[in-house]
Structure 1
């Protein structure tokens, strides 16, 4: 959908990069023309977003059907939750990619690029290499667990952050509970 909005020169209105023209005092005809063009594109953007979203997904847009920026933000929150568990699953998907028997190397590369794009979209603002290192260590700890820890793993992946110290504390608590 983002590519479609870009191709129709609507993306900058949806992303918030292009804001409404500032109203001068006194109002000029140039401002009125620019403002009308901006409003037309915003109307087109929210109309297209609404039409492109599947019927069952429109529930997320209730009450914001006339604001393209809020619509996009809500859809992004719902479908691209920037939580550690979602990144864990995305990394797991990335490292699980294997070349299929009849698949070309270019196809594998494209699947890897797509997986990386998903990971990048799941990163919150201000995500640093230090935070990545912390999450990777936590992911390694979680992935080391055998299958009989699956419910424990599920609870860990619901956490907002995969901080190593928090995972270590959860491991200690889980081990204590299992030993009882």
Structure 2
């Protein structure tokens, strides 16, 4: 079975796109009436025990077996969807998870960002979002509307927005300074960000330039 068709969503969780993936998966599970298995509202059915004088009836035992089979089926269906919409390395991390709630909580703790990094992920997800072939316009609009709403809720001020947009445009060689700036709380000003980025650019230039040691060396006789 195709990984994407298994869940009905088109986003593959790679880590840095957690916000977009979680929004898509949550919307999908709510549509399937399965979201409450993830939140823990629907827990594992409890086996009837009765008392020494009134043991569980046959009907109670049969009802329990049907309930546990139904819960297991839905729980493992959600687990399969979560794994099938995750990259290979994340699938490996999830292999010991036996409930949808454990898997969701793990991913949330592992990848959900806060502060500047959270804002960066929201804007990056919006920038990367594209209408996929075969995806209905209603589904696409629901996803993008959800991102717009979350960006509005984040209340990103103008200078923070410019810092994030600047960092989004930097190449992969600036990943170290980008991560350092985004993990600060509060996010540094644009002037401070530019100073640190310029320092990193200067360092790169020095590493790439020919060494001056040969010019200073004394020729041997």
* Structure 2 length-normalised TM: 0.46
Between the aligned partners of 1:73 and 1:8, the Cα distance in structure 2 is: 20
Is residue 63 from structure 1 mapped to residue 96 from structure 2 by the alignment? yes
- Which residue matches 1:117? 146
Match of 1:143 among 137, 161, 165: 165
Q: Which has the larger radius of gyration?
A: 2
- Which residue matches 2:188? 165
Is the contact between residue 94 and residue 103 of structure 2 (CA under 8 Å) also seen in structure 1? yes
- Which residue matches 2:112? 82
- Which residue matches 2:37? 13
Unmatched tracts of structure 2, length 5 or more: 1-6, 8-24, 131-135, 204-221
Secondary structure of the residue aligned to 1:140 is helix
Is residue 49 from structure 1 mapped to residue 71 from structure 2 by the alignment? no
Is the contact between residue 14 and residue 68 of structure 1 (CA under 8 Å) also seen in structure 2? yes
Q: What's the offset of the Cα at 1:89?
A: 0.3
Unmatched tracts of structure 1, length 5 or more: 98-105
Q: What's the offset of the Cα at 1:90?
A: 2.0
Is the contact between residue 14 and residue 69 of structure 1 (CA under 8 Å) also seen in structure 2? yes
Q: What's the offset of the Cα at 1:138?
A: 1.9
Is the contact between residue 46 and residue 68 of structure 1 (CA under 8 Å) also seen in structure 2? yes
Q: Would you say how many aligned residue pairs link Structure 1 and Structure 2?
A: 159
Q: What's the offset of the Cα at 1:154?
A: 7.2
Between the aligned partners of 2:191 and 2:63, the Cα distance in structure 1 is: 56
- The 3 A distance-change label for structure 1 pair 161 and 37 is farther
Give me the CA root mean square deviation.
4.8
- The 3 A distance-change label for structure 1 pair 175 and 142 is same
